[in-house]
Amino acid sequence: MAPTMDNAADGANVSSPEGAAGAESAIETRGIEPVPDHERHGRVRELFPTWVAANISVLLLTMGAALIVFNALNFWQVLIVAACAAVVSFGLVGVLSVSGKWGGAPGAMLSRATFGVRGNLFPGAILWVARFGWETINAVTGAYAVLTVLDLVFGVKSNTVLIVVTLFVFVACTFLVSGMGRKALNVCNTWSTYLFGVFSVLVLGYLIVHIKWDEVFSKPAGTTAMMIAGIGTIAAGGISWVPTGPDFARYLPHAASGKKIVGATVSGAGLVMVPMVLMGGVMAVATPELADAPDPVSFLGDILPTWLAVPYLVTAIVGMLLINSLSMYSAGFTAQTMGVKLPRAMAVSINAMISLVGGLLLMLVAKSFLSSFITFLILLAVSFSAWIGVYAVDMARRRVRAVRYDAEALMDTGRTSRYWYVGGFCWQAMTAWAVALAAGICFTKCDWFTGPLASTFVGKYGLGWAATIVISAAMMAILPVPRETGAAPAAVRPEGEREKVAA
């Protein structure tokens, strides 16, 4: 079991009275400051509904359909792709989430210890921009779901005014829920998991009865290259959650099991990802145009009967609202880490406004939702992967050396900070990140950009994101070990020893 990483020395004044109160109230007021030990009342099992809710999106149906139509895979290959994507992407989320319980702080904050006080601003800015795009995609999908329900129930057809109003209402609801904080999100996630699970079983049952399974199983197998590329595309969504994983583990006590954190994360995500991607693939056999629909939602009204499509879409709307709320929740921390001098709930409003503007452009201007979405996923995976490799190596070193995160130093952005390194930059981390990011872009091919290495084996198989992680991790590992400024905090005993001492 990994050694336990403590916070700053006991008595360090890193949390405000407001933050302490906010940890116990319904509306969370704590910002980026690390959570002190006496407020660590979270439970690992709370992560399960969190990651279930993070994947309740009908976009997975569309992506499953794309595996059948564009990647030319068969039923069993889609199943393998979905399972591998869930394990790979949310395995990374779970492993790096452990740092949240070590330091009690959001991922964007703990990243200061890796890149330096000033250096953290550069990868942080890219992650923040990528988060805008993800929230915009989810907001647009949610708005399309609302429009589809209005059409099915009331016969109201979509128009420009209705699109604007619907998107605005969806983003506003997302802002309100995300502003309430961790406890409110946990309650919403739990109930949405139950509701979406019930209706997903009903949809699955309907498909089992009505789908022509001889056509499904008679489809020929696709190539291995397309399977690997499919794994990367599906996994990209999960990879985008990796830097925010610690945000949801920061209230866990030090004694929380790292293995259980990973298990709850992977199982929660996989419970939704695998069946939804598979369902999308099955639907596409009967309705190939599903993968190229003008929006990612309306096809459900054609495939499912109204009595099932409407409640399923309503629960999906709630799910997508929660996905965006979780994303905006973490984006607020990123904004504060970047220097936005606002409370977390107010910092979230910046993302809400950008999602609204970006969503309107995507719904009213963009010609193809799916092509825009796939292009975004490709770029998203690369931008997050460069951060993942560097952060993972730094985290592994802290585990081996039992060097804890220093809560007081994380909050100190001046030259006195332990994470000041050289001029505020950890040059080893910055070098590994920049080189890997550039290499990842070179391997990338999308609708409007083809990198110079896109025709190589890595590029053809869609492995640019994986290569980016490997390159950033390898460079971080072979470069000289960074030397933190000032005296290192005392090493801590492994959890088993701590428990014996306490006994």
- pLDDT 10s digits, 405-434: 999 999 999 999 999 999 999 999 999 999
Under a CB-based contact definition with an 8 Å cutoff, are residues 385 and 472 in contact? yes
pLDDT at 222 over 90: yes
Give the type of residue at 375: T
* Residue 343: pLDDT band with limits 50, 70, 90: low
pLDDT at 94 over 90: yes
- Joined together, the tokens standing for residue 311 give 């409640």
pLDDT at 209 over 70: yes
Q: How high is the pLDDT of residue 72?
A: 92
List of domains in the chain: 33-405 (1.10.4160.10)
* Residue 292: pLDDT band with limits 50, 70, 90: low
- pLDDT 10s digits, 143-187: 888 999 999 999 988 888 999 999 999 888 887 776 666 677 777
Q: How high is the pLDDT of residue 290?
A: 67
Under a CB-based contact definition with an 8 Å cutoff, are residues 193 and 322 in contact? no
pLDDT at 307 over 50: yes
Q: Name residues whose C-beta falls within 8 Å of residue 201's C-beta, 6 or more positions apart in sequence.
A: none
What average pLDDT does range 324-353 have in this prediction?
Answer: 72
Angle between helices 121-154 and 306-337 (to 10 degrees): 160
pLDDT at 442 over 70: yes
pLDDT at 388 over 80: yes
* Residue 486: pLDDT band with limits 50, 70, 90: low
pTM of the predicted model as reported, rounded to 2 decimal places: 0.84
Percent of the chain clearing pLDDT 90 (strictly above): 44
